[in-house]
Amino acid sequence: MILIENFKLCLTLSIIGQLSGLSFNQPKFCPAATWNSLGTIFAAYDIIHGSPYSIFITTNNSIYVVAHAIPNIYIWLNSSVNLTMTITVPGLPLQSIFVQNDNELYVERGFLPTRNIEKWILNTNRSTVVMNNITPYPCYSIFIDIINNLYCSLDQRHTVVKNWLDDDDTTPMIVAGNGFPGSTSNTLTQPSGLFVDASLNLYVADFRNHRIQMFPQGELHGITVAGEKSINTTITLNYPTGITMDGDGYLYIVDQGNHRIVRGGSTGFRCILGCTTIGLAANELSLPRDMAFDSNGNIYVADWSNRRIQKFSYSKTSCDPITNVSLITSSRSPSFNQPKFCPAAAWNPFGSTFSALNIIRGPPHSIFITTNNSIYVVVQAIPNIYIWLNSSVNLTMTITVPDN
C-alpha cells in the first residue's frame, strides 16, 4: 500500500476522472472559429439593476453575475434563460465571483477597513472566511487554480495575492507586484483580471500598463505576452480588464478601452467581437469588463457601460466537423488518475510489495490503474493480463490473450 504522508497540510488529492474537473468552460476551437457579431441581450438593467462587473459560467451552464455597487449575486441555474434566484450578501458591494462545484460561491465582502473573501454555500446562510484582511480595497478579480490556490488582484495596491484553500491559514501572500505602481517585469499598475493555467502560470491583465503579464509558477518577474512591450509584436491593448483561456491555451482578452474582445492564436491576436466602434448596437460594446464561455462555446460579455450581459453565439459552421468545438470540461473524462498535489508533497521512500513473482510469473512490463482503482498488469513474455478490480488487494482474475 502506498502511504501519502502529511495529508492535511500537503496533499489535495483530487482524481480528475472521478470529479467534474474545472468548474468553468474551456472550449477548443479551430483557428478559423468565429462568433456571430450581432449579440443578443441575455440580461439587461431591469434584471441586474446596475453595470455588470463580473460573470462566471459553470460547466453546467449556470451563470453568476455581480453588478457595480450592488451587494447581490444574480443566478441562472442549468442553462435557464430566466433568473433563478438573487442572493444578497451583507456588507460592501461585490466586484468579483468564482464558483466551484456549482454550489460553492467565492465572493469578497466585509465592512471598512477590513475586507475578506468568503466561501458561501448555495441555498444556505453559511459562509466561511477563506482569505482575510485583504486591505481596505476590494479584489478586482478572484481566481482558484487546479490545486486550490485562491488568487485576488488588488488593483489599488498594485499586487496579486494568494493563499491555499486547503490550509487553515487565511493570510494571503504576494505573488505578483511589489505594492508600488510600475511597468517593469516585477511591478504592476492596477492589475485587474486573472487567469491561472494548468501549469500554474499566472496571467494578469495589467490595466494601466496596457499589457498582459505572465508570471511562471513561483516567479515574481513577469513576461509580457500581449500589449505594450511584449516579446513579439502582438496587439495594442487599451486598459485590459478581463482574461480567460480556451482549451488549446490561447488567451481571450477583454480590451476595455478599445471596447472589444480579442483572441490569441498561433499567428498572434485578432479582434473577434466589438470590432467596429463603441456603442449600444448589437454588434457594439461599451467598456466591457469581463467575459466567460458556456459549454457550447458561446461568449457572454459583461458590457459594463451598456448595463447588460451580451451573448455572442459561436458559429459552428466556421470550423469543419473534425475541429468543431469540443470541451475539456464536458468531454469524456480520462480513465486514469491525475491527482493534484501541493508543491511540498512527499511519499514514503519505503515501498511495499503489491504483487510479486509468485502471482505475476515474470518481470512486469506495463501497469494501468483506472479511476476506480482497478489495476491491470502485463508481464514480459507471458500472454496474460492480471487484474485487481476496485481497490482489491487480491488478484481478481487473469485473462489469457491467445497468440494470433
Q: How many Å apart are CA 158 and CA 174, to the nearest integer? A: 10
Work out the burial of residue 2: count CB atoms within 10 Å of its CB; fewer than 13 is exposed, 13-18 middle, 19 or more buried. Answer: exposed
> What is residue 24's DSSP assignment?
B
Q: How many Å apart are CA 169 and CA 191, to the nearest integer? A: 24
pLDDT of residue 20: 39
Got the DSSP string for 281-323? STT--SSEEEEEE-TTS-EEEEETTTTEEEEE-EEGGGS-GGG
- Contact indicator for 130, 106 with CB cutoff of 8 Å: yes
Contacts of the segment 106-114: beta carbons below 8 A, 24+ positions apart? 106/130, 106/142, 106/144, 106/150, 107/66, 107/73, 107/142, 108/134, 108/138, 108/139, 108/142, 108/152, 109/71, 112/136
Q: How many Å apart are CA 231 and CA 84, to the nearest integer? A: 45
**239-250 as b/e: b if 16+ CB within 10 A:** bbbbbbbbbeeb
pLDDT of residue 19: 35
C-alpha angle 65-69-75 in degrees, rounded to nearest 5: 20
DSSP H or E segment with residue 393: none
Q: Which parts of the chain have pLDDT scores under 50?
A: 1-20, 321-332, 404
What is the pTM assigned to this prediction? 0.76
pLDDT of residue 326: 34
- Contact indicator for 131, 150 with CB cutoff of 8 Å: yes
pLDDT of residue 124: 82
Structural Rg of the chain based on CA atoms: 24
Average pLDDT, the chain: 87
Nearest Cα residue to 396 out of 383, 404, 385: 385
Side-chain half-sphere of 35: how many Cα atoms within 13 Å?
A: 29
